[in-house]
Amino acid sequence: MLPFEQISAERLEFSYEDRKIFTDLTFSIGKNQSVLLLGPSGSGKSTLAFCLNRLYPEAVDGVLKGSISYEGQSLEAFKAGELNQKIGIVFQDPESQFCMLTVEEEVAFGLENFHIPREQMELKIDRALELVGLQNDKKTTIHTLSGGQKQKLALACVLALEPEVIILDEPTANLDPVSSSELVETIALIKNERPFTLIVIEHKLDDWVELIDTCLVLDSNGSLLFEGTPAQCFGEFASFLKKEGIWLPKVVEAALTAKIAGMYRGERLPLLKSELLAGLDYSFDFSKKISKTLAIKEPILEVKGIHARGHLKNINLTIHKGEQVALVGSNGAGKTTLSKCLAGLIPVTQGEIQFLGVPLSKWKEKDLFQKLGYVFQNPEHQFITDSVFEEIAFGLEHRASALSILEKIGLEKHANAHPFALSQGQKRRLSVATMLVHEQELLILDEPTFGQDANTAHEIMEILEEKSGAVMMITHDMELVDQYADTVHVLDAGELIFSGTPESLWENEEIVNRARLKLPFRKQLQDEFVRREIHVAT
């Protein structure tokens, strides 16, 4: 079937602490293929990837059964570390995959491990950094790089070893949309220049679809569900994948929705936007669902000309009772700084913030945080007790009412668990809930859906929709802005460059480009549709 089988796995089974992560996997991967490894969370995708270059089972106390061979040779026949030169891996978390202080030292680390002669190292480092576009950062301290640059560095470290296979384990999970697309572009370019086998594990599929030639799908029990081309995978099995909790590319998702509504004519679901548009019925409505209009505009937070620590310049904005506000902008634009100023966590150097008619500086901290909540990016930071129940009950007058709140967020069964031992999504829900117990008038959230799966993201938005007070959310997710926000504020380099409805933002091309935003998928489609209509008409 394949021209040359580079990696083949037979009846693989991995168990860890008496729990089977995956079972009975048999598949093979050909040289220079681009494979997308799909599966719901917990299906063992990462574990499988780590087994392929023999990091597992040694690194954890797990048991691997079955056999994997690389170019016809069993993995066990390779010396420790030997395989790592052939199969490189880029991990999800940009913060925890380096061990040196500067960029060049980090790339050199890998070369040193393989005893590359010193006189060759410099050249190899330069070449690898050039491939990913970091050649000007050779001496830079890794800590000062952005998330996207860190992931490019991780890729450079792998490329310097000239591997035959590169595994990417959710490399864009912690990046903003623009940086994600850039990373994918970089990878596509390099692959053109210097072929290698690519194995990608990813949730956000849109950027990858065109690069991929094979899909491997695992189900929630860790068995192989499907192996084949993306066209087949998404074209024929989309609804099935969706049921399994696997993310779909937005084009496929949209086509699926349209098809169910009887508005998509194509036989197979499309992979490309153009295919989608070609198959769509003309009656398809691209407009947004109408957002609730606020009858009475009663301001609760007024920001008048604030400056802060050189980050923020002359910010003016108002948040009204019950308003859903989004705060967007590229990394480093000052979103988090502004949000912390609004909560009184960072002092302003100039200007004034009034909350419920009283200057922020006049509020007693204890009273302020009964009326104003702040949800941090990492939910763990907010946990201060040993149990889920105590987290909610903390500061409540009627501790018993904590239980009903837990029921609301579906955590009543975990009341006695340690907050840290919850799953990512559960932690997120709990951290939002701790900020709702006092019925705060204003809740500020710093990227609440960041790194969450689709279900959790929706659950959080549902919790927030039910809430009576105003919500201000920092986010990179324009779909979220499009769907939920009444007002959106755009920050760029510490300045507020736009305030208005999402719809009016999407129309303002200049602002969208300046703040490095991506249009929501709905809008992208609509624009393309209009362009086509014009084309057809002329």
Binding site for another protein (CB under 8 A): 50, 53, 55, 58-61, 80-82, 84-85, 88-89, 91, 93, 95-102, 104-105, 108-118, 121, 125, 142-143, 154, 157-158, 161, 340, 343, 345, 365-366, 369-370, 373-374, 376, 378, 380-384, 386, 394-395, 418, 420-421, 434-435
66 close to 10: Cβ distance less than 8 angstroms: yes
Exposed e or buried b for every residue in 77-91, given b needs 16+ CB within 10 A? ebeeeebbbbbbbbb
48 close to 57: Cβ distance less than 8 angstroms: no
Smallest gap from residue 238 Cβ to another protein (A):
33
* Distance, CA of 7 to chain centre: 29
Q: How far is CA 64 from each of CA 60, 68, 69, 80, 129, rounded to the nearest angstrom?
A: 11, 10, 13, 17, 36
Q: Which is nearer to another protein, 268 or 418 (CB)?
A: 418
Smallest gap from residue 396 Cβ to another protein (A):
11
Provide the H-helix boundaries in 147-218.
147-160, 177-193
Measured in degrees and rounded to the nearest 5, phi and psi for residue 337 equal -60, -50
472 close to 501: Cβ distance less than 8 angstroms: no
Tell me the C-alpha distance between 121 and 118, whole Å: 5
Q: Which is nearer to another protein, 148 or 344 (CB)?
A: 344
Q: Which is nearer to another protein, 99 or 296 (CB)?
A: 99
Residue 527 has a CB neighbour count (10 Å cut-off) of 13
Smallest gap from residue 222 Cβ to another protein (A):
19
Residue listed under structure tokens 């548009």: 277
Smallest gap from residue 460 Cβ to another protein (A):
18
Measured in degrees and rounded to the nearest 5, phi and psi for residue 81 equal 85, -20
Tell me the C-alpha distance between 356 and 5, whole Å: 67
First-to-last alpha carbon distance for the chain, in angstroms, is: 48
Q: Which is nearer to another protein, 241 or 393 (CB)?
A: 393
Measured in degrees and rounded to the nearest 5, phi and psi for residue 359 equal -55, 140
Tell me the C-alpha distance between 318 and 80, whole Å: 60
DSSP reduced 3-state for 22? strand
Q: Which is nearer to another protein, 117 or 357 (CB)?
A: 117
Smallest gap from residue 242 Cβ to another protein (A):
30
Tokens representing 235?
A: 């074209």
Smallest gap from residue 227 Cβ to another protein (A):
25
Smallest gap from residue 538 Cβ to another protein (A):
55
Smallest gap from residue 327 Cβ to another protein (A):
17
> Sign of the CA dihedral 325, 330, 331, 335?
negative
Q: Which is nearer to another protein, 27 or 109 (CB)?
A: 109
Q: Which is nearer to another protein, 438 or 518 (CB)?
A: 438
Is the bond preceding 57 in cis, omega lying within 30 degrees of 0? yes
Measured in degrees and rounded to the nearest 5, phi and psi for residue 531 equal -55, -45
339 close to 412: Cβ distance less than 8 angstroms: no
Smallest gap from residue 252 Cβ to another protein (A):
31
Q: Which is nearer to another protein, 71 or 95 (CB)?
A: 95
> Sign of the CA dihedral 63, 66, 68, 73?
positive
Q: Which is nearer to another protein, 99 or 295 (CB)?
A: 99
Smallest gap from residue 195 Cβ to another protein (A):
21
Smallest gap from residue 534 Cβ to another protein (A):
50
Q: Which is nearer to another protein, 59 or 536 (CB)?
A: 59
Q: Which amino acid is residue 127, in one-letter code?
A: R
Q: For residue 141, what are the β-bridge partners?
A: 102
Q: Which is nearer to another protein, 116 or 263 (CB)?
A: 116
